Amino acid sequence: MEDSFTLTLSGTSSVLEAGYFPPIELSPYKNYALGLIELLTFNSIPNVDTDHNKLYVGDEVITIPTGSYEIEDIENYVHSALTDKSIVIQIKPNNNTLCSEIKCKRDVDFRPNDSIGRLLSFTQGVLKANKLHTSDVPVAILKVNALRVECNVTTGAYINERKVHTIHEFFPVVPPGYKIIEVPSHVIYLPIATKTIDHLQLRIVDQDGDLVNFQGEVITIRLHVRSMR
């Protein structure tokens, strides 16, 4: 086996897999390491999805489509979706406190589990009509704070006290809808824990270890394997 080679995996899921037959046999007399050298996809990560995309206003239930929204976008969509146009609702960010503020002519119910209240950082159940309500804590409008790429054949990484398979971590610097081109200026190589690679799996997860939803966009990841002298 060569001392240096690349592996490329591509697909439309946050879990990329490849089976190798015959298996990739690494020299038993050398130690090998693996690093991520390129990740390509589009920033289609939603902060509103089917888990929490409902706004209960009076007798109406507004379903917000899966996507990436700022607070102003949520307000605009709610205005357009309300069938009772006499309902006036304001959903605004407070740029000083970083909290969100809501005022509505009808009660707003954040009790259902699929309510968008959690995204807006409200924990109380029902917001009474005709009163300005401020979220309990500053809004974290982005669900994803970090993207982590995990590889099943590597070792040597830890998150706090927990051993993990993370080979690269970053946060996309482009807005939603733009292409993510992640090419590390300094590749971190982690040891490969096996001498035979017959199955390779890469997982893209967030800071909580949950798979990231790229909404079917193509993801391409290129890896570099090299022997360690």
Q: What is the rounded CA–CA span in Å between residue 83 and residue 28? A: 69
Flag residues of the chain having pLDDT under 70: 1, 229
Which is nearest to 115 in space by CA: 74, 82, 86, 79? 74
Q: What is the pLDDT of residue 26?
A: 95
34 and 70 inside one domain:
no
Q: What is the pLDDT of residue 147?
A: 96
Residue 16 falls inside a structural domain: yes
**pLDDT of 3:** 86
182: its two tokens: 């992640």
Read off the pTM.
0.85
What is the Cα 101 distance to its own chain's centre? 25
User: What is the pLDDT at residue 228?
Assistant: 86
**Residues 82 and 106 both lie in one domain:** yes
What was the pLDDT predicted at 1?
Answer: 64
Which of 134, 169, 197 represents a domain boundary (last residue)? 134
φ/ψ region of 209 (left if φ > 0, alpha if ψ in -120 to 50, else beta) reads: left
pLDDT at 180: 96
Secondary structure string (H, E, C) spanning the chain: CCCEEEEEEEECCCEEEEEEEEEEECCCCCEEEEEEEEEEEECCCCCECCCCCEEEECCEEEECCCECCCHHHHHHHHHHHCCCCCCCEEEEECCCCCCEEEEECCCEECCCCCECCCCCCCCCCEECCCCCEECCCCCCCCCCCCEEEEECCECCEEECCEEECEEEEECCCCCCCCEEEECCCCCCCEEECCCEEEEEEEEEECCCCCECCCCCCCEEEEEEEEEEC
Domain boundary among 105, 134, 163: 134
What's the number of domains the chain is made of?
2
Domain assignment present for 139: no
Question: How far is it, in rounded angstroms, from Cα 144 to Cα 158?
Answer: 19
Residues 154 and 200 in one domain: yes
Residues 26 and 60 grouped into a single domain: no
CATH of the domain at 193: 2.60.120.1100
Give tens-digit pLDDT for 174-210: 988 899 999 999 999 999 999 999 999 999 999 999 9
In a shared domain, residues 41 and 58: no
Asked, for residue 183, whether it belongs to a domain, the answer is yes
Q: Check whether residue 107 and residue 215 sit in a common domain.
A: no
Choose one of 77, 99, 134: the last residue of a domain: 134
From 101, 171, 113, 178, select the one nearest 143 (Cα to Cα): 171
In a domain, 220, yes or no: yes
In terms of domains, do 217 and 166 share one? yes
Residue 103 sits in which domain range? 54-134
Whole-number Å distance between alpha carbons of 182 and 169: 10
Contact 19, 199 (CB under 8 A): yes
In this structure, are 219 and 183 located in the same domain?
Answer: yes
